[in-house]
């Protein structure tokens, strides 16, 4: 009877240890997931990545097995991964189901806010050869994010407009990480109340809400385009953030906040 009880315990224990075993060969299907993998200590296990996986620099040397056109399942199978990192909101589901049916572990990571970035790092700790690296990265990220929030809090937040493109004109609602970057820096997203995450809006809607700041992704040339777009219609300072930092839901979203916060802090409160 005792022997049977021990065997039962072993049967329960073995699957748990199997799922927690470090991954040996990993494929990432989105640039932000590639960044998360490296931050979690899985860079040495990556054997395939998606297009635009260019950070850290060594990621650009890895074979690309996915892009906007789809996922190359045949090539992924050739690489023999034991873990595939997928983005449920952006990767097509059918090839992911195919990989799962063939016995490959597919881990979905789709962080929607800063805390979920830290949670993703903690999830990856179970598969990392260095779990402490992932856990430390998550804790450091949380601490630095909270420090920014405390340092740059404003009694009266700066009204800010997140602008993507000009024709058509898009922005972000409160349901996005980009909006959270504004919030942590003491700004208020003027379209936070939009019902969809990425609403298309009109120029008139922006003018009605009178933002003090326009936040964009890009460099000096893009900043000039936006300034010319609004010309004399809107007196708002345009702040350009690094496109990869601001657009990717990964650890470097912290850098976007660190880039934005001091610039907003220099503005007078209305």
Q: Whats the size of the chain, residue-wise?
A: 270
Residue 184 CA to residue 195 CA, distance in Å, equals 21
Q: Which residues contact 224 (CB under 8 A, 6 or more apart)?
A: none
Tokens standing for residue 177: 């990480």
Binding-site residue numbers are: 52
The DSSP element (H or E) to which 47 belongs, if any, is strand 46-50
Among 255, 257, 245, 268, smallest CA distance to 54 is for 245
Residue 182 CA to residue 162 CA, distance in Å, equals 9
Binding-site residue numbers for cyanocob(III)alamin are: 52
Cα Dmax for the chain: 85
Q: Are 109 and 116 in contact (CB under 8 A)?
A: no
């Amino acid at each position: 009877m005792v022997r049977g009880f021990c065997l039962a315990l072993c049967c329960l224990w073995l699957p748990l240890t199997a799922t927690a075993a470090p991954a040996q060969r990993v494929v990432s299907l989105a640039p932000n997931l590639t960044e998360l993998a490296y931050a979690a200590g899985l860079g040495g296990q990556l054997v395939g990545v998606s297009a635009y996986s260019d950070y850290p620099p060594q990621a650009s040397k890895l074979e690309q097995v996915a892009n906007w056109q789809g996922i190359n399942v045949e090539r992924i199978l050739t690489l023999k991964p034991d873990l595939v990192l997928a983005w449920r909101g952006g990767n097509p589901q059918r090839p992911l189901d195919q990989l799962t049916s063939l016995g490959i572990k597919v881990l979905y990571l789709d962080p929607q806010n800063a805390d979920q970035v830290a949670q993703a790092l903690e999830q990856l700790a179970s598969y990392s050869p260095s779990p402490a690296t992932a856990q430390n990265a998550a804790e450091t990220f949380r601490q630095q994010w909270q420090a920014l929030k405390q340092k740059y809090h404003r009694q009266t937040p700066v009204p800010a407009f997140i602008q993507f493109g000009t024709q058509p004109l898009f922005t972000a609602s409160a349901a996005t990480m980009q909006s959270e970057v504004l919030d942590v820096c003491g700004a208020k997203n003027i379209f936070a109340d939009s019902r969809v995450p990425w609403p298309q809006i009109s120029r008139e809607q922006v003018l009605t809400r009178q933002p003090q700041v326009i936040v964009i992704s890009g460099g000096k040339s893009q900043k000039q385009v936006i300034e010319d777009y609004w010309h004399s219609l809107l007196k708002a300072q345009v702040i350009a953030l690094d496109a990869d930092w601001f657009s990717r839901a990964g650890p470097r979203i912290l850098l976007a906040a660190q880039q934005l916060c001091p610039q907003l802090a220099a503005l007078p409160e209305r």
